[in-house]
Each structure stands twice: as C-alpha cells, then as structure tokens.
A and B are shown apart, each in its own frame.
Chain A
Amino acid sequence: MTERPDLDRLVTDWLRAGAPARAPLGLLTAALADVARVGQERPLFGRRFDEWIGRSPRLHWAIVGAVLAATLLGVIAGVGALVREPPILLPAGSNGWLSYSQHSGVLGDDTRNGEMDLYLVRGATAPLKVAGVGGDGGPGWVRAVCPAFSPDGTRLAFAESRDAGQVVNNAYVWATQAVVVLTLDAVGRIADPTVRIPVPATDADPCPAWSPDGVSLAVAAGAPAHLMIARLDDPATILPLEAANGLEVAKVAYSPKGDTIAAAGHLGLWLVPIDGSRPRRVLDSDSRGEIAWSPDGSRIAAVVGPSIQILHLDGTIDDLGSGFDPTWSPDGSRIAFQRLGSGTSSDIVVANPDGFAPHVIALASLPSLGAGAIYASSGIVWSPDGNQLVFGSSQGLISVSASADPAPRVLVAASETYAGIGGTGFSWQRISR
C-alpha cells in the first residue's frame, strides 16, 4: 500500500486545489437582479422583540406553549359552540341583527308603561329579548332603550334605567341609570363580559354613542345633562368632558373620524373637540331632536324647530324643510327622514342630501299593511347594505325598500299589548368580518 499523507491534510489540500478562485462573471449581476425584484421579510413582532426572545429560549418556549394551549382551548370552545348551536354565518357587509326596544308594560297601565325591553331580530327568526324585564334577572322595573351596536358589530350598548320611584312633571324618576354594554355571539347570545357603567341620574335616557374606534361612548347624563365620556378600558370609567362644562345637552354623536362630538341642546348645537380645545357653537337655536353625522364627517343633519337642516362644516346650511328623524344612508348618498303625511300617517322621504330628487314613501298608501292609519312612532334605520329602511309603527316593525317600489314587509307585528315598538331608536348590526 502506498504511503499517504495525513487524510485531513490531504482532503484540505484537495478541496483548496479544486475551489474556483472567482465566481463566473454575471453570477453576481444575475443574483442582484433577482434581489431587486423581491422585498424583505420583516420579523412578526419587530426585531427588538425577536432579539429579546432569542436571548431567552425558555421564554420563547413558554410563549410557544401558551399560544398552543390557547389555540387548543379555542378549538375546544369553538367545537363546543358548534355542537351546541351552529352560528349563522353571514358575509361581510351584510345585514346582521336589528336591535330595537318595545314596551314591556300593558297598554293603559300608566303605572308601568315606561318600561321597555330590548330585542334583536334578524330575517325570519323570532325576536330575542336581550335586556329588560326578566331579561337579566334584575330586580324592579327596567327601561332598556337606545340600542347602539359597536362599529365592529360585536357589542351592543344601550341606556338602562331601573326602579322607577315616582313620576315628577310627567316624567319617571329612576333610582339608578347606567350605560350597559353587552357582548353578543353570532346567534344573539349574551357572552362575557357585560359592562355596566352607572351614570349620574338624568331626566332623560342616557343614550350612548360609540366612538369609531369602539373604545369610548359619549353620553348626555346628569341634571342638567352634560356631555360625559365613558371609556370601556379596564376598568371602565365615565367622566365629564371638561371642555364641555357648562353646556346643557340632550343628544350627542361622535364624528366618523372620532375627533369631535356633536352635542345638541335647547340652546344650540356645539362641536366639541375631544382634545380639550374649546367647543364651537354652530347653531344657536333649539336642536334637541336627532342629530346625524354624514358617513364622511363633512355634514351634520339636525332637527331645528320643525325642519331638518344640513349643516356643512364650512358653515353653510341647507334646509330640507319640515321633518324629523333624519338618518344617512350607509354610503352617505341619501338621507331619509319622516314628515307629517295625510291624516295621522307619516311619510318617509328619501332624498339627496341637498334635498333634491326626493322620493316619498307615503305610509298611508301602503296597501299591503292592512287597514287603518300607519304612523311611524319614532326613528328610521337604514339596513347596512343600504337597500332597506325599517321603522316602528302602529302595525309593528316595518321594512320598506329604499327604492321606488317600497314593497313593505312586517318584520315584527305589533299587538294590542305590545306597542311602542322602536320608539327609542334602532341600531342595525353590520357584519364586518
């Protein structure tokens, strides 16, 4: 056998001898041309987090374990929920639950007809009561009104008053009042957590208005009522908005951008910046009726005296004539409102925001709803897809098409004993996921 040098040395020399000194011309150019076409992958939680995790493998595995455990629990819970009751899956942008309130007392029983229950309805399903008398087992009388779905559709806020003690000046005086926020699952069941935020007693309903980010609710509360902000952070808090001190307001509404709150009272309408700067009065007459921001935040529809006015943020005002309950279509291209019609019936007007091209749905002429006068008791709501308008009436909860042919439909029939349906407003959940 031929004597060979040390194998390690031999292999090293052989590799070095066989290694090309230079890469071929064009290889780098071709590689960089490929690089120019692709982006970089960024760490999921940023490099600092990545480095921090990298220095602590135990923490890394602890986090991985926690995520896996949470995922497993989530899967188990999800499977459990599916087994119990399959959720109703709706496409994003479609119409979800419609929330409304109606009297829980018996007509004619004036001692208890301030009580209202809160319901959810969707399609042909029977209405589900989610709050009110017997709704949550609470004691005494309950008035659950002014439903408002959160912008993401997962929570329902409403005004709650309990334990009416007496009637003063034809108004109920309630022992406790609160803004309540329910968390709802896909089938309308109340899930944890339910947040109840007590508010200072007021002689009106403390109707909540969501901030666009779903973190805060604006409320008119206290006596006299003033603007308060309820934050749903942990723990939930409610505080007066200091910049609005001294303003007596009845209705409040967050702007779509969330930077301003419109606050209306008997002395006018103010725009209150939430950054604490000074409120600006934009109307100086009684505007305690409904106020509604256009979806793009450029205009506010307000009821001023007997008429509806469109207030542009540049200071100009359009008068749409007599009417009440203005409400913008989801895309902001139309505005619907009520006005007195023939007899005791009311009309619903669907118009361009400048008041032109009005399309009038005369409720008295809707033949399919049966005999008798029809009047919208209060409030109109657009469906999230912009195709329907729903209002409460003496005939029940009515849906009409927003197009030329109203094609009315009774969603929930009113009965002798349960009337006043929708009398304190509606909220229609938009499926956003």
Chain B
Amino acid sequence: MRQDLVERARRGDREAFGQLAAGEVDRLHAIARLVLRDQDLAEDAVQEALVRCWRQLPKLRDAERFDGWLYRILMRATADEYGRRRRYEGAVQSIRMEPAMSDGAGDLANRDELERGFRHLSIGHRAIVVLHHYVGLPLPEVAAVLGIPPGTAKSRHHYAMSALRAALEADARVASSGEALA
C-alpha cells in the first residue's frame, strides 16, 4: 500500500503524496524536534523536507528505499534550517527549552545532563545519535542516509556518546563535590 503510494506520488499524483505525507509527518516532526531541540525550527524543517520530497520523488530510483531517502532529505533540511537560523540570529542563540512529552527516562537529573550535553553537539553528531538511538537504524545505514562513510559515522557516534558521557560525569562530579562539602 505504502509502496503503491510512493509509486503514484513519483508519477505526480498529489493526492497519493498527501496520503503518504500524512503517514510520515509525525515521525518526521519527532526526529526534527529531537535533532533541532526547537519547535519552530523543527516545523520549518519538516515543511521544507516534504516539499523537497515531492519535488525530487521522480528521481527516487527504488521505492523500497523511500525511508532512508526521506531521512536524508529531512536531515539536510534540518541542517539547512539550523544553519539559516544561526545566520539570522547570530552564532550564539538561546534555544528555548521545550517541555518533554513524557518523562520516560525517569531520571530528571539525567535528562537535564543529557540535554545539556546534546546541545553542545554539532547538528551532524545529533543526527547520528537520533537516527541510531531513536529511529533504530544501524550505524552503516545511518552512514548511508547521511551520505558519509561508515567509518566516519562510527567515529562521530563514538564522539557524540563520549560527549554525552562526559556531560553526565561532569554533573556527577559536581554532585559528588557538593556532597563532600556538605
């Protein structure tokens, strides 16, 4: 059914594309929100990604690879939105915190530490973390989506995870020293 929608949309069927987009928009929005950490930026990125998807669909070679192809478009759109907003608002900006939909981590301290650590990552590193840990793509597939060598994806993932670990451990050190002072 979904592949049929992709085929029809590829041939220029706007109604089919509408149905296809309706099935994808929640997932795309969640990914963009996680990467960009900003609601407005995420919405703009998803909107732009869907327009690019429509325009470029006739060039999609294999309808079965639609998911990875769409992720790649979304990641480029998120990077573009992030870069555009940075250019307009200055290199340093205060990105407002968005309330989480739920506290699945169950650990408020960890959540804040991860948030802080994640914000220090580049948009490319964030994309790898989200595609691997949230979407569930193996790292070689993440590499294919982002158009980078698998080795690069692995090293960037390692860097990102090290940065997040460092953020958590730094917070733990502050907490330990606080306990010691007390």
Contact = CB atoms under 8 A, between A and B. Distances in A.
Asked if A and B are interacting partners, one says: yes
A41 B161 CA distance: 39
Contacts of B161: 7-8, 11
A16 B104 contact: yes
A416 to B, nearest CB: 70
Interface string A12-36: 1111111111111001101110111
A250 B104 CA distance: 94
Interface string A188-211: 000000000000000000000000
Given A14-B111, A28-B22, A43-B58, A20 B50 contact: no
Given A35-B14, A39-B55, A23 B133 contact: no
Contacts, number: 134
Given A14-B105, A50-B61, A4 B14 contact: no
Interface of B: 12, 14, 17-18, 21-22, 25-26, 28-31, 33-34, 39, 43, 46-47, 50-51, 54-59, 61-62, 100-106, 110-111, 114, 129-130, 133-134, 161, 164-165, 168-169, 172-173, 175-176
A405 interface: no
Contacts of A24: 29, 39, 43
Nearest to A27: B43
Residue among A13, A17, A23, A47 with the most chain B CB within 10 A?
A: A23
Contact of B101 (A7, A17, A38, A39): A17
A137 B54 CA distance: 62
A86 interface: no
B118 to A, nearest CB: 8
Contact of B29 (A17, A23, A40): A23
B16 to A, nearest CB: 12
A15 B133 contact: yes
Contact of B21 (A14, A31, A50): A31
A314 to B, nearest CB: 42
A51 interface: yes
Contact of B59 (A15, A22, A34, A41): A41
Closest 5 A-B residue pairs measured CB to CB? A17-B104, A23-B29, A31-B50, A15-B134, A19-B30
13 contacts: A14-B105, A14-B110, A15-B130, A17-B102, A17-B104, A17-B105, A18-B111, A19-B30, A19-B33, A21-B30, A23-B25, A27-B47, A43-B58
Interface of A: 1-2, 4, 7-8, 10-24, 27-28, 30-32, 34-36, 38-43, 47, 50-51, 54
B25 A27 contact: yes
A49 to B, nearest CB: 11
Chain A interface, >50% SS class:
helix
Given A28-B21, A34-B47, A35-B50, A11 B101 contact: no
Residue among B61, B62, B164 with the most chain A CB within 10 A?
A: B61
Given A7-B161, A36-B14, A40-B56, 18 more contacts: A1-B173, A11-B133, A17-B100, A19-B31, A20-B30, A21-B30, A21-B101, A22-B29, A24-B43, A31-B47, A31-B50, A31-B51, A32-B18, A35-B14, A35-B54, A40-B54, A42-B58, A47-B61
B114 A11 contact: yes
Chain B interface, >50% SS class:
helix
Contacts of A23: 25-26, 28-30, 43, 46
Given A19-B30, A21-B30, A43-B59, A10 B14 contact: no
Nearest to A32: B18
Nearest to B35: A15
Nearest to A16: B104
Contacts of A42: 58-59
Contacts of B176: 1
